[in-house]
Structure 1
Amino acid sequence: MTAEAILRLVNDPVLPLCPLDIALDIQNKLKDEPLSNPRLLAAAASLRESSAFLQSETMRPANDPKEREPSHVRMLNDVLRDLEKSFTVPRSPPGVYRNLLYSLNDNDPQFSILKYPQQPLTSGAVNRSQSLIMNAINSAEKLIHCGLELFENNPDEPNRTNEPNLPGL
């Protein structure tokens, strides 16, 4: 199985990472979380929609050799690589992974940073934990929008401002 994973990483033009899976995981973690707020849920829903669009409209054509530009695919792979990095925090509370997506217990899918805040459940600790999650979601959403813009701004297409495409100007 490891050899197959390595072959996919080497041979696939686009990294086999699924932003939609990450977004759905975030939504599931927040869905039943009593400490989550409507802003977090709305941000997670927005991330899911953007991720679904990126996966269907950008990643699919990038895998087709006839439709891909190597420089765009390289930049898309950079976006995919950095997507999970947006969920890491520099200093995590004791007993919590630096990557917010990982849980301490596989049977408990909630964000561990909300379950085990640095201090006892005070509003300050909860607000800090929610803020870290919100910043991570916003960072991931910005990365996904960058990935979408890579394929929207095709240099071979005429300008979208209805101006003629004048070479050399």
Structure 2
Amino acid sequence: MATSFLSEAQFSTELPKTLDPLFKFHETIAKMTAEAILRLVNDPVLPFYPLDIALDVQNKLKERSMVSQALLSSASSLRDHAAFFQSETMRPANDPKERDPSHVRMLNDVLRDLEKSFIIPQTPPGVYRNLLYSLPGKTPQFSILRFSQEAVLHCNVTSKVVKHTSAEKDVLCHSSVNQSLSLILRAVRSAERLVCFGLDLFENYPNDI
């Protein structure tokens, strides 16, 4: 019996006959989806929180064995700007009387595009296109980085069978890790630029309307 990606992600593939037989899990997902849609439709400001994203990024970089100082600095800068953006720009906009519709629209555009900064065009099998997502129960790390680390381990084992020079081994084993780190750094910097753009935009926006 073929199973969907959602089923494979949430349930053991060894017991396909036990995949939510009473549809309780499906019911819960439907309720959560309906609640999310209601909030997206009714809340004046989209219920997206830049600081949560920034803190999640830093949490995913706790294992610093391969993380560059540039990436850590960018993540810290994103956190600082996101905290200021969330407290100074988002909070007053939650009261429609304090912000005109065009201002709220610009704010929502920034919030909508923020998470898009972490979407990449192509990923290895089993890795989400959104770098922030990972399967439940996995370690709190960027899934694409964990995939690259596993590739390094596989390459180390393979190199014992297939003879490579030292230089060839380094290139083969670490190119995927460097590429993953580059994608993460690019995403973090893109998110920070967007937050800074929002801060500059709203700082110069007239508040006396």
TM-score range, shorter chain: 0.7 to 0.9
Which position in structure 2 is the counterpart of 1:69?
Answer: 100
Flag as ranges the 4+ runs of structure 1 deviating above 6 A: none
Which position in structure 2 is the counterpart of 1:25?
Answer: 56
1:120 is paired with a residue of what secondary structure?
helix
Given that residues 81 and 192 in structure 2 are in contact (C-alpha distance below 8 angstroms), is that contact kept between their aligned partners in structure 1? Answer: yes
Which position in structure 1 is the counterpart of 2:44?
Answer: 13
- 62-71 or 74-83, larger mean C-alpha shift: 62-71
Match of 1:120 among 131, 142, 151: 151
Match of 2:85 among 50, 54, 58: 54
1:66 is paired with a residue of what secondary structure?
helix
Structure 2: unaligned runs, 5 residues or longer? 1-30, 153-172
Which position in structure 2 is the counterpart of 1:109?
Answer: 140
Given that residues 149 and 177 in structure 2 are in contact (C-alpha distance below 8 angstroms), is that contact kept between their aligned partners in structure 1? Answer: no
Does residue 130 (structure 1) correspond to residue 161 (structure 2)? The answer is no
Distance 1:69 1:154 in 2: 11
Structure 1: unaligned runs, 5 residues or longer? 158-169
Given that residues 33 and 110 in structure 1 are in contact (C-alpha distance below 8 angstroms), is that contact kept between their aligned partners in structure 2? Answer: no
2:151 is paired with a residue of what secondary structure?
coil
Does residue 140 (structure 1) correspond to residue 171 (structure 2)? The answer is no
Figure out how many residues of one structure are paired with residues of the other and give that number.
Answer: 157
**What amino acid is the match of 1:34?**
S
2:119 is paired with a residue of what secondary structure?
coil
Within 5 Å, give how 1:77-96 maps onto structure 2. Answer: 77-96=108-127
Tell me the C-alpha RMSD between the 2 structures: 1.9
Which position in structure 2 is the counterpart of 1:161?
Answer: none
- 76-85 or 120-129, larger mean C-alpha shift: 120-129
- Specify whether residues 148 and 16 from structure 1 end up closer, same or farther in structure 2 by C-alpha distance, changes over 3 A only: same
TM-score w.r.t. structure 1 length? 0.84
- Aligned-pair distance for 1:156? 5.8
- Aligned-pair distance for 1:118? 9.2
Distance 1:104 1:7 in 2: 26
Map Cα deviations across residues 80-115 of structure 1 (whole Å, 9 max, x no partner): 111111101101122211111012353311111111
More helix per residue: 1 or 2? 2
Distance 2:69 2:149 in 1: 23
- Specify whether residues 10 and 51 from structure 1 end up closer, same or farther in structure 2 by C-alpha distance, changes over 3 A only: same
Structure of greater Rg: 2
- Aligned-pair distance for 1:31? 1.3
Given that residues 81 and 196 in structure 2 are in contact (C-alpha distance below 8 angstroms), is that contact kept between their aligned partners in structure 1? Answer: yes
TM-score w.r.t. structure 2 length? 0.69
Within 5 Å, give how 1:151-162 maps onto structure 2. Answer: 151-155=202-206
Map Cα deviations across residues 124-143 of structure 1 (whole Å, 9 max, x no partner): 21111110000000110111
